[in-house]
Chain A
Amino acid sequence: MNFKSKVALGAAATITAALLSGTAMAEPKVLMLHQWASGNDAASIAKLGEMFTAKGGTWEQTAIAGHTANTLAKLRADVVAGNAPAAVQLKGPEIAQWAATGGTADMDELATTEGWDAVVAPELLPVMKPQGKWVAAPMNIHRINWIWGNKAAMESVGVAELPKTWADFNAACDKAIAGGKVCLAHFSADWSDATTFETVVYGQDIDLYRKAFVEGDVDALRSPEMIKAFDQMKLMVSKYMDPAIAGRDYDTAANMMSNGDALFYIMGDWELGRLVSLGKTPGSDILCGQSPTDWDGNGFILNSDSVVFFNQNNPDFQEGQKLLASTILSPEFQTVFNIAKGSIPARLDVDLTQGFNACQQQSQAELKGSIEGGTLVRSMAHNMTVLQKYRGAMMDLITEFVNSPEMTSEEAANLMADGVEAQM
């Protein structure tokens, strides 16, 4: 090697070193805004923080408890102040809305390198890349259409298995009442009422669900099929739930089922985390199954938590966003996080035989079945379909219906359609 090339090599080395140290000097940092302020949720998000820190990042978070409005108000105030947080827990159509404002970061480069398109559940892709570019990283897939049953309580009134159809459900409930039990544990809040109602609509008529709750079609909201769904809901509220649903909290409702006062509970799979912490074994003493459907095959109402990235000027935060996104989509995080939270990984290539329980394994199998059968839908109640203004109008009406014995199903369907129409 001659002197010249030695110099050239040395220079190249120096430049490379400088470049390397340059990137090394950008310390990955992130400030994440989310609403998982307590309990299981907080524990799950703390795991993300730990993994992020272990990979050399500096983790900071703002957890805003309570109403989603507080989180969104905070986000809006930060964006208006020109101080957008690096990462925000946001979901559904809001991701598209924020992407349309031009404030979100482009994560395509990382997505291509890591091949996200190939592994993430296809139903999530339009949500995470609303304008064709990745702006968000999905953390999990929650299933909404679960029915949980207390096996001992069911046996005590002569119900052998979880109801498959709404007719089965009503029959089982009549047995429960005859046996002196509450059939369906419930607590009334806009989101829990809407959760139950959307499983009814979905189970009765999947096309109606799509038209009304995914497309926000006013005629579908007003249709005789919707009135029929309200009839079923009315029956459940007036007869199969107990009268004290208003003002009860999530815990009390969940306990009613797990301690056997009530037979069933219709609730998303975050319920699993609770059951495990109560020392129950999901799948044996507490049964889990697809909420009733009047059609055959697997059904899946999907909800997904995701983290959206907002444009940052500081290279430390840009690095931090990449590291965070990569961490979130890593199979390790998807496993650890979802075991704790009750949901299943947003990546379909994660093996659930290790650490996940029977219900979670069932969830993943039925998700795949549902994708094949063309029955997979996103959840309206959990803000995965229509814009907030339409969803708000629907939820207002549904929760009002649950709390108003004198409102008829026809009135409810018409008022819901009017409410949505007023927002158009």
Chain B
Amino acid sequence: MSDATISSAPALDLEAGRAGRRHLISRIVIYGLLTFFAIIYLMPLWVVFFNSFRPLAEISANGLIAFPQSFRLDAWPQAWSEFCIGGQCAGMQRYFWNSIMMVVPATIISTAMGAITGYVLSKWKFRGSEIVFGMMLLGVFMPGQIALLPWAFILGKIGLANSVYGLVLVHCIQGLAFTTLFCRNYFVGIPDDLVKAARIDGAGFWRIFYRIILPISPPILIVTVIWQFTGIWNEYLFGVVLNSGANQPITAALVALSMSGTTVRTYDVMSAAVLIGALPPLLVYFFGGKYFVRGLTQGAIK
């Protein structure tokens, strides 16, 4: 990890000779605290993970938080393809694919649009471009409940009501504020001279974008993609309300699980279902997380 090398920490080892013992104690305190927080942070994950392998009888006898006494895999295939959600016993499967069909195009399109808009708003400024940026930024703060009925109306008018494409459109536009913010702030840091020089060499709008901007953008594009992917995957209000039946995303199924009113709670299958529902964004974080802080350092907070 190269991050460690850019640590701002003062060189503690300078003092090592003078106060070796103090150093050791401070190390113990640091790792102790880190471990303490790590346990708190991991507990919920640990609970769901174990419960997905524990038989229901064991969960009701020993409580929700316990090590498995026995081990069985049944809950997973049940959650994936048999569990009854919303009156249909076909598991999380179809919701999962709906979410994939929604999240992949929506993430790609909103990131691309944000990159281009950010590029214009930082490198091709025009009169009023700062104001345009400021106003687009307001989208970050819009509460979702306000947009629900207007979206329903618009999607109905353009014939995308109750379709995964409708949700793609909604998420692209709602995500623009974030993606533009991230990309624009990152691009501002690229020296204008680079762009000027390229222009003098006769490079046009798109050429500069492809040849100069894009090659140095991966850090911020990764941040943007992580942000959009997790945000869109996890959004539930629009998924539940704008789409119905076979077209709902996975969060709709999770809501159905968490509020299954008058029936017995099948904690084992629910645990497996919850993990299936959380897996894709978790994977994205586990693999992309290390770029997140770096990207943030370079772009998002300014």
Among B16-24, B81-89, B123-131, B190-198, the stretch in contact with A: B81-89
| Interchain nearest-CB distance for B232 vs A (Å) | 19
A45 to chain B: which residues have CB within 8 Å?
Answer: 87
A78 to chain B: which residues have CB within 8 Å?
Answer: 152, 161-162, 244
Which residue of A has the minimal Cβ distance to B262?
A250
The answer to whether A74 and B241 have CB atoms under 8 Å apart is yes
The answer to whether A70 and B241 have CB atoms under 8 Å apart is yes
Bound-state CA distance A77–B86 (Å) is 19
- Interface presence of B222 (CB below 8 A): no
The answer to whether A77 and B262 have CB atoms under 8 Å apart is no
B65 to chain A: which residues have CB within 8 Å?
Answer: none
Which residue of A has the minimal Cβ distance to B162?
A83
CB neighbors of B among A11-52 (8 A): 31, 33-34, 36-42, 45-46
- Interface presence of B212 (CB below 8 A): no
B149 to chain A: which residues have CB within 8 Å?
Answer: 76-77, 80
Bound-state CA distance A40–B261 (Å) is 11
The answer to whether B261 and A77 have CB atoms under 8 Å apart is no
- If A37-B87, A80-B153, A81-B153 touch, does A65 touch B262 (CB 8 Å cutoff)? no
The answer to whether B85 and A83 have CB atoms under 8 Å apart is no
- Interface presence of A125 (CB below 8 A): no
The answer to whether A62 and B241 have CB atoms under 8 Å apart is no
| Interchain nearest-CB distance for A140 vs B (Å) | 16
| Interchain nearest-CB distance for A342 vs B (Å) | 11
| Interchain nearest-CB distance for B254 vs A (Å) | 10
- Interface presence of A123 (CB below 8 A): no
B240 to chain A: which residues have CB within 8 Å?
Answer: 64, 70, 73-74
- Interface presence of B156 (CB below 8 A): yes
- Count of A interface residues, CB-CB < 8 Å: 36
Q: Which of A38, A73, A250, A270 contacts B241 (CB 8 A)?
A: A73
- If A65-B260, A66-B256 touch, does A37 touch B85 (CB 8 Å cutoff)? yes
- If A77-B242, A83-B156 touch, does A251 touch B86 (CB 8 Å cutoff)? no
Bound-state CA distance A249–B261 (Å) is 8
CB neighbors of B among A371-386 (8 A): none
- If A61-B245, A74-B240 touch, does A42 touch B255 (CB 8 Å cutoff)? no
B148 to chain A: which residues have CB within 8 Å?
Answer: 73, 77
- Interface presence of B300 (CB below 8 A): no
Which residue of B has the minimal Cβ distance to A33?
B244
The answer to whether A65 and B242 have CB atoms under 8 Å apart is no
Which residue of B has the minimal Cβ distance to A270?
B262
| Interchain nearest-CB distance for B274 vs A (Å) | 15
The answer to whether B161 and A37 have CB atoms under 8 Å apart is no
The answer to whether B262 and A37 have CB atoms under 8 Å apart is no
A81 to chain B: which residues have CB within 8 Å?
Answer: 152-153, 155-157, 161-162
Bound-state CA distance A274–B230 (Å) is 39
- Interface presence of A4 (CB below 8 A): no
Bound-state CA distance A351–B266 (Å) is 37
- Interface presence of A161 (CB below 8 A): no
Bound-state CA distance A48–B196 (Å) is 70
The answer to whether B263 and A39 have CB atoms under 8 Å apart is yes
| Interchain nearest-CB distance for A284 vs B (Å) | 24
Bound-state CA distance A66–B241 (Å) is 13
B156 to chain A: which residues have CB within 8 Å?
Answer: 80-83
- Interface presence of B42 (CB below 8 A): no
B157 to chain A: which residues have CB within 8 Å?
Answer: 81-82
Digit string of A218-261 for contact with B (CB within 8 Å is 1, else 0)? 00000000000000000000000000000001110000000000
> Chain B: residues with CB nearer than 8 A to chain A?
84-88, 148-149, 152-153, 155-157, 161-162, 240-242, 244-245, 255-265
Given contacts A62-B245, A70-B255, 15 further A-B contacts (CB under 8 A): A38-B84, A38-B256, A65-B86, A65-B256, A65-B259, A73-B241, A74-B241, A77-B149, A77-B241, A80-B153, A81-B155, A82-B156, A82-B157, A82-B161, A249-B265
Can you sample 23 A-B contacts with CB below 8 Å?
A37-B87, A38-B261, A38-B263, A39-B263, A39-B264, A40-B263, A61-B87, A61-B245, A62-B245, A64-B256, A65-B255, A66-B261, A73-B148, A74-B241, A76-B152, A77-B148, A80-B153, A81-B152, A81-B153, A81-B161, A82-B161, A85-B244, A270-B262
Q: Give 8 closest A-B pairs by Cβ, nearest first.
A: A81-B156, A66-B259, A65-B256, A39-B263, A63-B87, A77-B152, A62-B244, A63-B86
